[in-house]
Structure 1
């Protein structure tokens, strides 16, 4: 009886240990975001998302990089602030895309338009969705690349300097950024608001077409889903400011969909599926919502469970 009791407790301890290791291994699942500054000036990236990452804003001198881990299910956006002036205590402001916190850290505040935005929702057991948006205007060239993932994982972004080709009526003072037509004029048809708040009523404008022509893979207005939303699974992501790599040529030169050419942007999940998802997903980015289920266990998790199960089974004969 004593031998039976001893081995029964050993078996129970092993079962508990297997569950502990399973949940610990689940906790280490994450995506890595790496920021690279190839501009000839300093950029101060801003971060807004849920849950909060290790930083909400930091300095990124030219020629440098910095990485962060984000858990599955994370939803949020990144942007680059330029022309910033912070004192020794980290207080100050930026000329473009300032988050209004008065500090290097944005502390939960978003970018003041105009701002080039990289937007993400990391899948929990499903695909990641990402895009580069010019809906709030443009201030700095940016490219997003997925690394080591499965699926289309196409590069997207805007490598064209829109500040140089910005229409005069959208140009900010000093020409350091290019406003959206919505910000410049406030008309509902430009903002996709009021009676224009649907894909059927909100259409491309002469101004969004300027953005789309320069940057075919970026969002140019709120319902520009089909050629602007991209998917990937299990990837790490690189966000590059002022990209110069020749390998990214297609991200700037691919024509918009419908031009009759074959070198068109890919959405990774098809225009219809991407469009139906993105309409609700873009709204969720503002609050960081994610409604998808948790991911399946990784190969490491399965390996741990299988190994411990074998150990448990070797002890089961004591109970027979």
Structure 2
């Protein structure tokens, strides 16, 4: 059986009394080991040991605060600040489809999703292959490490850091996901008082 890892970044900054409940649902045809990283000062979850095709933490399923090795799809949360902020980020690349679905609230809280298999459309210079099959797609920053793609140096602000042909491949496939550092308008969502379903595939 093939194993994949989707790394989830949960920035758990609780300012209120109540905590959100996260439910993980795997609709993929293979096993998913989600990597979960809490915010600064939060106790890590104990996930054991194992090696994954993508998003691996050096053979540990508990990343000890360092995060999984990119490229991997990220589901990011900042909770109760004073509302919840959440997004799906492809800034570090992509490895599998994911959705964030708010539960128990009105329709004003929107679902964020990236359901396309970007691995099938991944440009050759960004591909991560295992056994001749594309298993993940790097971001241009990860692949080429230049200020233009990484939004650093003279490109470190929204006026100079613009979408690239590479980030547009991600955006065309997943219009609600972050695809470069300043992609906030179409990619950052807010909600208040919700629990969350994180669905793989």
* TM-score, length basis structure 1: 0.54
Alignment partner, residue 104 of structure 2: 148
Q: Kindly indicate which of the two structures has a greater share of residues assigned to helix.
A: 1
Task: Name the SS of the counterpart of 1:92 in structure 2.
Answer: coil
Distance 1:189 1:114, change over 3 A: same
1:1-320 equivalence runs, <5 A: 27=17, 29-50=18-39, 51-52=41-42, 55=45, 57=47, 90-100=48-58, 102-124=59-81, 126-150=82-106, 152-174=108-130, 175-242=134-201
What residue is the counterpart of 1:291 in the other structure? none
Deviation at 1:49, TM superposition (A): 1.6
C-alpha distance in 2, partners of 1:96/1:45? 11
RMSD of equivalent CA atoms = 1.7
Q: Find the aligned partners of 1:232 and 1:31 in 2 and give their Cα distance.
A: 11
Secondary structure, counterpart of 1:237 in structure 2: strand
TM-score (norm 2): 0.85
Tell me the number of residue pairs that the alignment of Structure 1 and Structure 2 aligns.
Answer: 182
Match of 2:5 in 1: none
Shift of 1:104: 2.5
Q: How far 1:170 moved relative to its partner?
A: 0.7
Structure 2 CA distance for partners of 1:226 and 1:169, relative to 1, 3 Å: same
Deviation at 1:55, TM superposition (A): 2.1
Structure whose alpha-carbon radius of gyration is higher:
1
Deviations 1:33-59 (A, max 9, x none): 0111111110110111225367254xx
For 1:153 and 1:199, locate their aligned partners in 2 and report how far apart those are by CA, in whole Å. 26
> C-alpha separation between the residues in 1 aligned to 2:26 and 2:124?
28
